């Protein structure tokens, strides 16, 4: 015990002297060097500690997102299984349709392959005119390809491709003043021409002047449309314009199903296969 006490006294003396020296000479070079050295050694503790804490603090959120992703993955798997059956049914119907068209000597429409594209930019001055998407000729996009947009799980008409670059394309929206598409009204199958007005709504012209029109009627692309596949939803009748006694037709205001102001992703129906697919096909067929 005596020895331990003596050692403790010595250590106390040494450490106290050292501490008093540090306190007495705060601006001297050795003290400042020691402080700098201590900071150099101990600063990583708080630096890496904070980084580790930030990582751990974000862990519950990441785990929650992981669990949500897992649940969504399960749901999508189930949906995919259901869709496999749907795809089989559709392809079977498509084959039957083609066989019947051949039997009736009708023109067989060209096969289109869809490709998803993200909206890259839009002209803020002309909001309803066009958007640029991140798919170009590299993905088989060609001029006048129809473009659809998702709306409540369904695909609706959005516009057509008017400019194709290697990696991007410009899509002229239906709401643009220069855009038009042949369409029909679901009730009565009245044919007309839907035209953009550089605003949120469209205008459907050339409707039979004698027919009684009503709001809420759905507007679909016509089989006579040269750009769009038939029966794609365009929108619904928002207002019936008063009849003009000097015109032989009447018109309606159409509220588009694809909201031009909130388009994020679009689907382009390619009329041609992508270049690399063509190349692969040519290689496969080569002797």
Residue 69 binds to other proteins (criterion: CB under 8 A):
no
CA-based torsion, 7, 12, 15, 17: positive or negative:
negative
DSSP state of 141: -
Residue 53 binds to other proteins (criterion: CB under 8 A):
yes
Shortest Cβ distance from residue 5 to other proteins (Å)? 8
Which residue of 2, 26, 60, 103 would you call a contact of other proteins, by CB under 8 A? 26
Strands 249-256 and 146-151, by their bridges, are unpaired
What is the Cα–Cα distance from 113 to 269, expressed in whole angstroms? Answer: 6
Stretch that binds other proteins, among 13-21, 97-105, 186-194, 271-279 (CB under 8 A): 13-21
Residue 46 binds to other proteins (criterion: CB under 8 A):
yes
Q: Considering the complex, state which of residue 35 and residue 154 has its C-beta at the smaller distance from other proteins.
A: 35
Phi-psi region of 155 (alpha: psi -120 to 50; beta: other; left: phi over 0): beta
Residue 15 binds to other proteins (criterion: CB under 8 A):
yes
Angle at 223 between CA 221 and CA 228, to 5 degrees: 55
Residue 116 binds to other proteins (criterion: CB under 8 A):
no
CA distances from 30 to 12, 21, 35 (A): 21, 10, 9
Shortest Cβ distance from residue 91 to other proteins (Å)? 59
Residue 28 binds to other proteins (criterion: CB under 8 A):
no
What is the Cα–Cα distance from 159 to 181, expressed in whole angstroms? Answer: 9
Which residue of 30, 33, 35, 74 would you call a contact of other proteins, by CB under 8 A? 35
Q: Which residues bind other proteins (CB under 8 A)?
A: 1, 4, 7-8, 11-12, 15-16, 18-24, 26, 31, 35, 38-39, 42-43, 45-46, 49-50, 53
């Amino acid at each position: 015990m005596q020895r331990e006490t003596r050692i403790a006294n010595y250590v106390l003396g040494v450490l106290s002297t050292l501490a008093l020296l540090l306190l007495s000479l705060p601006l001297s070079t050795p003290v400042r060097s020691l402080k700098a050295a201590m900071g150099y050694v101990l600063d990583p503790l708080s630096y890496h500690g904070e980084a580790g804490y930030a990582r751990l603090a974000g862990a519950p959120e990441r785990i929650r997102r992981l669990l949500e992703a897992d649940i969504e993955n399960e749901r999508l798997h189930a949906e995919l299984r259901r869709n496999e059956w749907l795809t089989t049914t559709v392809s079977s119907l498509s084959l039957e349709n083609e066989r019947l068209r051949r039997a009736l000597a009708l023109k067989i429409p060209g096969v289109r392959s869809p490709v998803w594209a993200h909206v890259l930019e839009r002209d803020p001055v002309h909001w309803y005119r066009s958007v640029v998407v991140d798919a170009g000729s590299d993905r088989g996009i060609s001029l006048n390809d129809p473009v659809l947009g998702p709306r409540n799980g369904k695909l609706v008409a959005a516009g057509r491709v008017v400019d194709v670059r290697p990696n991007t394309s410009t899509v002229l929206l239906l709401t643009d003043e220069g855009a038009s598409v042949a369409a029909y009204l679901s009730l009565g199958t009245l044919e007309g021409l839907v035209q953009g007005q550089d605003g949120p709504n469209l205008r459907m012209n050339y409707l039979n002047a004698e027919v009684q029109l009503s709001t809420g009627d759905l507007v679909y692309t016509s089989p006579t449309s040269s750009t769009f596949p038939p029966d794609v939803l365009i929108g619904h009748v928002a207002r019936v314009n008063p009849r003009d006694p000097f015109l032989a037709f009447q018109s309606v205001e159409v509220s588009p199903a694809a909201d031009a102001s909130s388009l994020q992703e679009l689907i382009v129906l390619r009329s041609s296969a992508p270049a690399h697919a063509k190349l692969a096909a040519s290689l496969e067929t080569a002797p």
